Amino acid sequence: MTNLERIWKDQLYQEFARIGKCLSSPKRLELIDLLAQGPKSVDQLSKITGMSVANVSQHLQTLHESRLVRFNKKGNYVIYEIAERSVADFMVSLHRLSEKQLVEVQRLKTEILQHHASMEPIALEELMVLMEKGEVLLLDVRPEDEYIMGHIPGAISIPIEQLEKHLATLPVNKEIVAYCRGPYCLMSARAVEILKSIGIKASRIEEGVHEWKRYVEHSNISPKEIL
């Protein structure tokens, strides 16, 4: 390797390291996961994460400097979103790699499953068969703005905070399958517990919208358009 090539390599990996340093904060990883669901203001992110507005702003600035997020102003609010879909895809890969390689992640997931009996998910393949037969209703329990930004085809939107008010509108002759923001989101588990408490047959899928997109893109099926 020539000196010039060595310099080029060093500079290249230094740039790669910028992303690594940016992602070294667990709070920034959580912010990316939340923004992958749809644009949000600093105030919204502060309420969801329990961080102060100042801390959220500081983390977002770091993410912006690494070009992982972008923002625009809407009135008095600054609205952030992920820079592009590849950022969300990267987070899905990070989740899967961490769960595969890190024993502590596996332990925590097992602990959550044991705490929530309703957390045991059904597979996407099974869900697709049931939906094709019209035997299940797919329920998106994320906030409505996240549903509008993108959802699994065929899903209806009832945010978890509104679910108990809308129980009477749900069919009693179909199993209801809930989903939320992905494998480590507990809103779908809470939804299943609420539904089962009144005698409705319910289950959940582990995947969120981005996991669904990756699934259909890497399979041989021809899914309906993802909204």
Cα separations in angstroms, 154 against 4, 7, 95, 178? 55, 52, 26, 12
CATH number at residue 79: 1.10.10.10
- State residue 117's pLDDT score: 58
Asked if residue 223 is part of any domain, the answer here is no
Mean pLDDT score of the chain: 91
CATH number at residue 171: 3.40.250.10
Asked if residue 224 is part of any domain, the answer here is no
Average pLDDT over residues 175-200: 92
The answer, yes or no, to whether residue 28 has pLDDT greater than 80, is yes
**Last residue in a domain, options 83, 99, 122:** 83
Residues 21 and 112: their CA atoms lie apart, in Å, by: 29
pLDDT tens-digit series, residues 132-143: 999 999 999 999
Report the greatest alpha carbon distance in the chain: 72
Which range among 13-17, 105-109, 155-159 has the greatest average pLDDT?
Answer: 155-159
Q: Are residues 149 and 68 in the same domain?
A: no
Q: Supply angle C-alpha 101, 128, 84, rounded to 5.
A: 55
- State the virtual CA torsion across 202, 207, 180, 189 in degrees, nearest 10: 40
Asked if residue 39 is part of any domain, the answer here is yes
For 54, counting Cβ atoms within 10 Å of its Cβ (0-12 exposed, 13-18 middle, 19+ buried), the class is: exposed
Average pLDDT over residues 151-155: 94
How many other C-beta atoms lie within 10 A of the C-beta of residue 59?
23
Among residues 56, 91, 141, 180, which one is catalytic? 180
pLDDT tens-digit series, residues 165-183: 999 999 988 899 999 999 8
Q: Are residues 112 and 16 in the same domain?
A: no
- State residue 119's pLDDT score: 61
What range does the domain containing 14 cover?
3-83
Residues 93 and 3: their CA atoms lie apart, in Å, by: 35
Residues 59 and 39: their CA atoms lie apart, in Å, by: 16
Cα separations in angstroms, 137 against 16, 126, 193, 200, 205? 43, 13, 16, 12, 12
Asked if residue 90 is part of any domain, the answer here is no
- State residue 110's pLDDT score: 81
**Last residue in a domain, options 83, 99, 133:** 83
Q: Are residues 72 and 134 in the same domain?
A: no
Is 185 marked active-site? no
Asked if residue 133 is part of any domain, the answer here is yes
- State residue 137's pLDDT score: 96
pLDDT tens-digit series, residues 45-75: 999 999 999 999 999 999 999 999 999 998 8
Number of domains in the chain: 2
Asked if residue 103 is part of any domain, the answer here is no
Q: Are residues 115 and 77 in the same domain?
A: no
- State residue 222's pLDDT score: 53
Average pLDDT over residues 111-121: 71
Average pLDDT over residues 205-209: 93
Write out the two tokens for 70: 């972008």
Asked if residue 97 is part of any domain, the answer here is no
pLDDT tens-digit series, residues 67-112: 999 999 988 889 999 999 999 999 999 999 999 999 999 898 888 7
Asked if residue 98 is part of any domain, the answer here is no
Residues 10 and 86: their CA atoms lie apart, in Å, by: 24
The answer, yes or no, to whether residue 225 has pLDDT greater than 80, is no
Q: Supply angle C-alpha 22, 25, 26, rounded to 5.
A: 135
